[in-house]
Amino acid sequence: MKKTELMYEGKAKKVFATDNDGLVIVSYKDDATAFNGLKKGTILGKGAINNRVTNYLMKMLSEKGIPTHFIEEINDRETVVKKVSIIPLEVIVRNIAAGSLSKRLGLDEGVKLSRPVLEFCYKDDALGDPMVNRYHILAMNYCTEQELDLISEYSLKINRILGDYLKDCNIELIDFKLEFGKTVDGEIVLADEISPDTCRFWDTVTGEKLDKDRFRRDLGGVEDAYQEILKRLLGE
């Protein structure tokens, strides 16, 4: 597998074309941003940790019946994945109130929701990823109704599998963001990443935050928190 040209450079990853038309290589960076790019910084070692954590969790999910874009980790920060056209939605699943939900509904962070909440945001940095509902998604043709149903079903299933899995590592899955894409064969698969950048992870005993909120909120110990997630999941 050979990298050819850089197709896209985002805030946290680069995506390279390869000599195989159906595959791309994602390269994880140490760059960190928050608040739609307003806050910028570096989290040393983050790229390698997010790469490894994402691949580990995607493999686990695919064994439990969730199709993913994952193909092969080629080094610490680079992975071969199926090339997809990304469905322009950020799917957010919440179990416990935090972040923007707490603000919007006036809930204390940490309040348990009586059932999981699914939210969709239209992926558009210039618009600040506005929240959209089912009607917007279908009216704007962001995806088809069947695709939306499948994405919703996968997201709730991922929540159950991941939530149970993380509990055994003493990690509470508060909320997280997923992206899905369509492969060249038309299959809907889980894409992008699942990492401390895109999930809220709290220690089940102490409630300590082990995710990007440490960077967003200047809590300190950012690198240690990412390292701790790697250790609890992969044992290193």
Instruction: List CB contacts of 73: < 8 A, sequence separation 6 or more.
Output: 51, 52, 55, 79, 80
Q: Residue with the closest Cβ to ligand UDP?
A: 99
The answer to the question of residue 12 lying near ligand ADP (CB under 6 A) is: yes
Amino acid of residue 130 = P
The answer to the question of residue 202 lying near ligand UDP (CB under 6 A) is: no
d(CA 86, CA 67): 14
Binders of ligand ADP among residues 55 to 114 (CB under 6 A) are 69, 81-84, 86
Chain center to CA of 151? 14
The answer to the question of residue 46 lying near ligand UDP (CB under 6 A) is: no
Q: From the list 78, 172, 175, 179, which residue makes contact with ligand ADP (rule: CB under 6 A)? A: 179
Choose between 77 and 83: whose C-beta lies nearer to ligand ADP: 83
Q: From the list 129, 172, 179, 228, which residue makes contact with ligand UDP (rule: CB under 6 A)? A: 129
Contact code string over 72-101 relative to ligand UDP, x by CB under 6 A: ------------------x-x-----xxxx
d(CA 3, CA 24): 8
Going by the DSSP 8-state scheme, the letter that residue 213 receives in this structure is: H
d(CA 162, CA 41): 28
Number of residues that bind ligand UDP (CB under 6 A): 14
CA distances for 53 relative to 177, 223, 233, angstroms: 15, 14, 7
- Point out which residues bind ligand ADP (CB under 6 A): 8, 10-13, 15, 24, 69, 81-84, 86, 179, 181, 191-192
